[in-house]
Structure 1
Amino acid sequence: MSSGLSIALFPVALGIVMLGIGLSLTTEDFRRVLRHPRVVAICLGCQMLVLPAIALGLVVAFDLRPELAVGMMLLAASPGGSTAGLYSHLFKGNVALNVSLTAVNSVLALFTLPVIVNLAVAGFVGSDDSIGLQFGKVLQVFALVLIPIAIGMFVRSRYTAFALRMERPVKILSVVVLVVMIVGALTGIKDDVLDTLGEIILIVLVFNVISLAIGYLAPRLLRIGHRESVASSFEIGLHNATLAITVGMSPALLDNSTMAMPSVVYGTLMFFTAAAFGLVAARRAPAGPETPAAAPGPAGRTTRHPAG
């Protein structure tokens, strides 16, 4: 697959990812957020406020060149993806919480991502009107994210049994599509990747590990249960790399492959670091029933979860 074709197909890949998220959503997932605001507020606060601040600090500390600095901020502003729920299931996190967080995070990111990206462009690149996410480009991001989610939710509401059967295969397909798209894009720009890999691999790895750690430790420090903290960790540590890469590479959006490089590297590393983190977290699971702050259960009821 040529680099140009891969870049052109990234919006399609993003559509598949967001469709998979939509298939897993019901209106109950949004109502659950209102009934259990504490744990959700902690996770979203980390995702939308703490991570961009950490990314900015790392960018300054590593003295990244402007386009890569914008790329790191784009990565930090991207929401959690459907992969978070998959890992949460594998390592016994609260998957219902992941579903709710992904739903709210994906919608909120449509507003916060353009703001963070445009501030990063202004701060690191300067006042170049040809770079950034102006109103028309933001509308395209809305369409790329919301339309597939809406279709998935409609299918889930009308054809529930079919949606439940397809939910897991579509999530797995999302991972496969992401890998294929990244490999295809890298084939055509491998020289650029080799030139930038040495500059960003350490900062991307550090940012990934910090994201996973904060996602787990912040809820635990505030007495949220282990399973909810595991879900939070994966939601915060496993970004929607497909969205970030699409925004960075798409000719209709930023049209800058260098800005997409941090997300390309992150999208590859996160599968391995998240698996390692999940194994560590599984060993730290409490031996008996948990009694910290309650968190949302699968049907929206307040539940106490046993360990792992």
Structure 2
Amino acid sequence: MQASFFTTVMLPTALALMMLGMGLSLVPEDFQRVIKYPKAVAVGLTSQLVLLPVIAVIIAKLVPMEPAIAIGLIIVALCPGGVSSNIITFLAQGDVALSVTLTALSSVITVFTIPVLANLAFQHFMGQTTAIALPIGSTILQIFLITLLPVALGMGLRQILPELARRLEKVTSRMAIALLAAIILILIIREWNRLPGFILQVGIAVVLLNSLSMGAGFYLSKLFKLNRPQQICIAIEVGLQNGTLAIAITAGLLNNPDMAVPAAVYSLFMNVTGLMAIAYGRKLAGAV
């Protein structure tokens, strides 16, 4: 997984397609919900941008793992919500409008927070005080080009040609899923001999990160007396991060295959908790 066609072309293309698809589904009103539902948005963003990285750092300190693996785990926690979180929130009967808003806002904010916080994690776990792992300016630019620019293009196209945007949304979603499946398959094939060791080393940390973050998001929402659909939405939004972006940063920008392992394992495992969230959300909805 050194710098190659895989890390320099396939990963950014898959991520850009996913973000373009998200942009095609967004309208300006999605960003205006901050004013309509300030408490729900504040709780969701705080859970995702503050609570989740703190949980990741605690896990990285308590669970024995190599420094590169620890940094990879933290980079997963620094990434915004995954595009799939909107679909899973819908299936779990959560607040889809809030989910879309949180995904969009976190995608904007993390363009600037990932380089800074990832460097702090790199210096702490690798013990480097002088070398900076991620050049902040160029990293912000690269993340912008593969995340925010496709979102902006998608939103612009939806405003100008709404019918074409609706058709393209389906196409880009299918292409992104196919590319993502190919990426995960390539990861598995390339690291097949080392996979059992990776899973043993990363498995516990990934399960803890995913389950604790979902639980923290759910109960923090409950503490602030948000309604049931909002609680379900925030739990899912905090628990399902953009693993593709984490792989693109670790395998692409940092060119470190070991750091990409937590993101790859996380991307697979979050589907399990996603299905559990759907079952739980439907059960709660049926009990009301």
C-alpha distance after superposition, 1:96-137 (max 9, x if no partner): 111111110100011111121100001011226363343223
Aligned-partner Cα distance in 1 for 2:110–2:154: 19
Partner residue of 2:160 out of 158, 161, 171: 158
Computed over aligned residues only, the root mean square deviation of the Cα atoms, in angstroms, reads 1.9
- Work out whether 1:48 is the aligned partner of 2:49: yes
With normalisation by structure 1, the TM-score equals 0.87
Higher helix share: 2
CA drift of 1:7 comes to 2.4
C-alpha distance after superposition, 1:15-61 (max 9, x if no partner): 01111111111111111112221100000000011011111111111
Aligned-partner Cα distance in 2 for 1:198–1:120: 22
Structure 2: which amino acid aligns with 1:223? K
- Rate the CA distance shift 1:124–1:260 in 2: closer, same or farther, 3 A: same
Give the match for residue 169 of structure 2. 167
Corresponding residue pairs, total: 285
- Work out whether 1:29 is the aligned partner of 2:21: no
Structure 2: which amino acid aligns with 1:156? R
**Structure 2: runs of 5 or more not aligned:** none
Give the match for residue 139 of structure 2. 137
CA drift of 1:191 comes to 2.7
Aligned-partner Cα distance in 2 for 1:20–1:178: 14
Give the match for residue 61 of structure 2. 60
Partner residue of 1:146 out of 145, 148, 152: 148
Give the match for residue 250 of structure 2. 248
CA drift of 1:94 comes to 1.3
Give the match for residue 208 of structure 1. 210
8 Å CA contact 1:73, 1:116 repeated in 2: no
Structure 2: which amino acid aligns with 1:265? V
CA drift of 1:287 comes to 4.1
- Rate the CA distance shift 1:206–1:172 in 2: closer, same or farther, 3 A: farther
Highest relative contact order (Cα 8 Å, sep 6+), 1 or 2? 2
Structure 1: which amino acid aligns with 2:251? M
With normalisation by structure 2, the TM-score equals 0.92
- Rate the CA distance shift 1:219–1:286 in 2: closer, same or farther, 3 A: farther
- Rate the CA distance shift 1:93–1:74 in 2: closer, same or farther, 3 A: same
CA drift of 1:282 comes to 2.0
Aligned-partner Cα distance in 1 for 2:217–2:170: 24
Structure 2: which amino acid aligns with 1:107? V
Aligned-partner Cα distance in 1 for 2:257–2:29: 38
The SS at the match of 1:234 is helix
1:1-308 matches, cutoff 5 A: 4-8=4-8, 9-127=10-128, 129=131, 131-250=133-252, 253-285=253-285, 287-288=287-288
Instruction: Answer with 101-110 or 176-185: which moved more.
Output: 176-185
CA drift of 1:173 comes to 4.0
C-alpha distance after superposition, 1:136-189 (max 9, x if no partner): 233111211111111111111111123234435534543332222111132122
Aligned-partner Cα distance in 2 for 1:172–1:81: 16
CA drift of 1:69 comes to 0.8
8 Å CA contact 1:3, 1:184 repeated in 2: no
Aligned-partner Cα distance in 1 for 2:125–2:3: 27
Identity rate of aligned residues, in percent? 32
